[in-house]
Structure 1
Amino acid sequence: MRTDNELRHDWTKEELMEIYNRPLLQLVYDAASVHRAWQRPDEVQISTLLSVKTGGCPEDCSYCGQAARYHTDIKVQALLPTETVLAHAQKAKDSGSSRFCMAAAWREVRDNRDFDRIIDMVKGVNDLGLEVCCTLGMLTADQAQRLQEAGLYAYNHNLDTSEEFYDEIISTRKFDNRIETIKNVRKAGITVCSGGIIGLGERIEDRISMLRTLSNMEKHPESVPINALARVAGTPLENLPKLDVWDMVRTIATARIVMPASMVRLSAGRIEMTETEQAWCFMAGANSIFTGERETLLVTPNPGVSEDMQMLTNLGLKPMKVEREVMSCSNS
């Protein structure tokens, strides 16, 4: 395996555009070569994402069916009981997942009893020996520290899109708010999970800009989810066309080349991809997927566990085993 001191943090837009626009087969070959130099090419991390609090969000993210202002069929669900969440985590572990992520449809974390319950969930999932991840919205430095002390391994906070296109998608917070949360997470010693969504109506230049922001961070995100827009009825983006699979492949390949040590996660949109199309994404450098017993990714359809395991078998891939000690938790 290569070392982090070989990583670059000074990519230009011109360099990234040249990579993205290479002839497709050359691009995939280049990305696959980088992948084999930095990662185990026959392993895919299986991650499970559970919505622990669904809907009713005050944000206006144009792609999201959980925004309270949009008329969708998504049922609002209060914060799940801790024991229910831990039962899901145990089942995920038994099914081959090595990371368990808990998502709450909040704009930001508030210091209240719900956050205290999230802390208990983090401690419980950590005790199971899983990498525990949360995505809860914006975080202060003190809140990030509390999560770290509880044993949180990773925090997901996607950029969503480029800084230039951001205001076209979201008006209830700023791009800089997302950067600030990522800085708070990093300062607390939690690993960063941050990527974005393509197919929002953005230009290729916006995809490049988003990847440049991620790859030029002082430390690359340890996890980079690449999502295809899941078109949710009732949201402003419901009538956008289905993303072309080659756009997904090109974005994944570019992310792999410029952030070779990161996990590149093939995330939302897999339900509309054939097994062959997903295989192209793995060849281009993706080495993680989200799966789950409910066959959903938060509130949108997603392949189920058995289907995914069969796909990995068909492709000669295997679930990644993550060897780690349970993080010690603070009693505070």
Structure 2
Amino acid sequence: MALLRTAPAPKLDELRRLYELPLFELVHQSRAVYTAHWPDPEIQLCSLLSIKTGGCSEDCSYCAQSSHYDTALQPERLMEKETVLAAARRAKAEGATRFCMGAAWKGVKGGDAKLDAVCGIVEGVAELGMEVCVTLGNLDTEAARRLKEAGVTAYNHNIDTSPEFYPKIVTTHTFDDRLRTIGEAQKAGMSVCSGGIIGMGETVTDRLRMLEVLAGLETVPESVPINVITPIPGTPLGDAEPVDIFELVRLIAVARITFPVSKVRLSAGRTKLSREGQALCFYAGANAIFFGSKLLTAPNPEANEDLRLLRDLGFKPQAPYTDVPVPDSVAATV
């Protein structure tokens, strides 16, 4: 779904004023925005699978899959199509409505054999009636077009943090490289899932600058994931300190106010949150989660735990294609 800006994007000072409000006043405002635009008690359940793990040439300081760091992760080849489809069927049976696939690559280009393989997998997942999201690194124009035609509804490409702090986290590509790929995905007609990670040593200003940049895009992200770092031994951020729950709630609330019609996804780091902490995040405006026991390489709550929590809070899973268009290539199958 293309979410064109219809009002001036908020600037850093405005975001800071929101963030610094008394917590209950901020959450009161974010809750009002949430209920005005998302009146149904629904949470989008997105399952995430690493279809090609490890051996990545990039040096993202938080990532177990980087070949620059000595972690316990063993590189694996691209999964076979039938293995991925079996995982997608299990995810659908558990209640997931969007299936996200990640590959530890610098990127893909038109003409790459690996792009052909991924497009074949995408076509199979789309035929199951699930929304399809992929994260494959940088894209060129041809790769973006191919993915859209295969049935990708959303491209995940987080900007991670502020442009100022980004070089302290990644040196093998630039912040502008991230923005270029977001532009390619949007030009091809895919929606974009883009947010960031907190707990990497950044300041509150860095977190708010991240939101400012995303809000300034001509087409804002369809979903905005807010990840809490999962420290991985062997990476430069393996000793990162835990994030205070109220800092997370504040950022989710500001994101909800900033992106009223985008999904705000409570993403990595939920295993460290209590049920009460997650409930407060949902109350502040989060309306999507990654669902299933594993997020690429990091642990996640078990599916039955999530379903019980959502049931206790009065939520139901959002149906697929509720607010994104059905791709032409799969319209007849859903």
For Structure 1 versus Structure 2, the TM-score category normalised by the shorter chain is over 0.9
Report the CA distance between 1:327 and its aligned residue: 2.3
Q: Residue 127 of structure 1 contacts residue 326 of structure 1 at CA under 8 Å; is this kept in 2?
A: no
* Pair 1:318-2:288 in alignment: no
* Pair 1:243-2:207 in alignment: no
The code of the aligned residue for 2:60 comes to: C
TM-score, length basis structure 2: 0.94
Counterpart position of 1:85: 84
Report the CA distance between 1:329 and its aligned residue: 2.6
Q: Deviations over 1:223-276 (max 9, x none)?
A: 100000111111001112111111111111101001100000000000000000
SS of alignment partner, residue 322 of structure 1 = coil
Counterpart position of 2:301: 303
SS of alignment partner, residue 301 of structure 2 = coil
SS of alignment partner, residue 103 of structure 1 = strand
Equivalence map 1:117-266=2 (5 Å) = 117-266=117-266
SS of alignment partner, residue 224 of structure 2 = strand
Q: Deviations over 1:31-81 (max 9, x none)?
A: 011000011351100000000000000111000010011111112111000
SS of alignment partner, residue 220 of structure 2 = coil
Q: Which residues of structure 2 form unaligned runs of 5+? A: none
Please give the alpha-carbon distance, in whole angstroms, between the structure 2 residues aligned to 1:279 and 1:187.
36
The code of the aligned residue for 1:311 comes to: L
Please give the alpha-carbon distance, in whole angstroms, between the structure 1 residues aligned to 2:85 and 2:18.
43
Please give the alpha-carbon distance, in whole angstroms, between the structure 1 residues aligned to 2:147 and 2:170.
27
Report the CA distance between 1:326 and its aligned residue: 5.0
Counterpart position of 1:33: 32
Report the CA distance between 1:109 and its aligned residue: 1.1
The code of the aligned residue for 1:231 comes to: P
Aligned residues: 326
* Pair 1:67-2:66 in alignment: yes
* Pair 1:269-2:269 in alignment: yes
Please give the alpha-carbon distance, in whole angstroms, between the structure 1 residues aligned to 2:248 and 2:106.
28
Please give the alpha-carbon distance, in whole angstroms, between the structure 1 residues aligned to 2:168 and 2:311.
41
Counterpart position of 1:22: 21
Please give the alpha-carbon distance, in whole angstroms, between the structure 1 residues aligned to 2:40 and 2:14.
25
SS of alignment partner, residue 233 of structure 2 = coil
Residues 234 and 5 (structure 1), Cα distance of their counterparts in 2 relative to 1, 3 Å cut:
closer
Sequence identity (%): 47
Please give the alpha-carbon distance, in whole angstroms, between the structure 2 residues aligned to 1:190 and 1:40.
25
Q: Residue 126 of structure 1 contacts residue 326 of structure 1 at CA under 8 Å; is this kept in 2?
A: no
Report the CA distance between 1:4 and its aligned residue: 6.4
Q: Deviations over 1:184-243 (max 9, x none)?
A: 001000001100001110011101100000111111100100000111111001112111
Residues 305 and 71 (structure 1), Cα distance of their counterparts in 2 relative to 1, 3 Å cut:
same
Residues 254 and 242 (structure 1), Cα distance of their counterparts in 2 relative to 1, 3 Å cut:
same
SS of alignment partner, residue 101 of structure 2 = strand
Counterpart position of 1:95: 94
The code of the aligned residue for 1:297 comes to: L
* Pair 1:286-2:286 in alignment: yes
Structure 1: which 4+ aligned runs deviate by more than 3 Å?
3-7, 323-326
Q: Which residues of structure 1 form unaligned runs of 5+? A: none
Q: Deviations over 1:95-142 (max 9, x none)?
A: 111100000000111432221110001111111111100000000011
TM-score, length basis structure 1: 0.95
The code of the aligned residue for 1:109 comes to: V
Q: Residue 9 of structure 1 contacts residue 217 of structure 1 at CA under 8 Å; is this kept in 2?
A: no
